[in-house]
Amino acid sequence: MKKIEAIIKPFKLDDVKDALNALGINGMTVTEVKGFGRQRGHKEIYRGAEYQTDFLPKIKLDVVVDAAIVDKVVDTISEKANTGKIGDGKIFVLPLEQAIRIRTGERGIDAI
């Protein structure tokens, strides 16, 4: 089992979700986050004064999958979340020790 954390542009979430559903992925968790990378935010104007916005709004998508389909999932997210412009985000893949479905107590792959 692997956990995939993808930081993506908020308006790409629907495309990514639909593509993951099409792969047969049945669940995911989404968090509204803020952050910056090499892009370092951008300039905005408020009442005549320019300012730097460092933390830009992003979506963090958590999805746990069978190790066998990790590459497929990562490729799907990268493809669907890609605009070609700076600030498209990142994908992290982490090993996952255990998963438990609270209602039934199922463990491992059965729980995801």
- Binding residues vs another protein (CB under 8 A): 45-51, 55
Q: Nearer to another protein by C-beta: 50 or 97?
A: 50
Helices (H), ranges, 3-53: 13-22
Q: How far is the CB of 97 from another protein (least distance, A)?
A: 30
Residue 73's φ and ψ, nearest 5 degrees, are -65, -45
Q: Nearer to another protein by C-beta: 44 or 71?
A: 44
The answer to whether residues 7 and 58 touch, using CB atoms and an 8 Å cutoff, is yes
Q: How far is the CB of 48 from another protein (least distance, A)?
A: 5
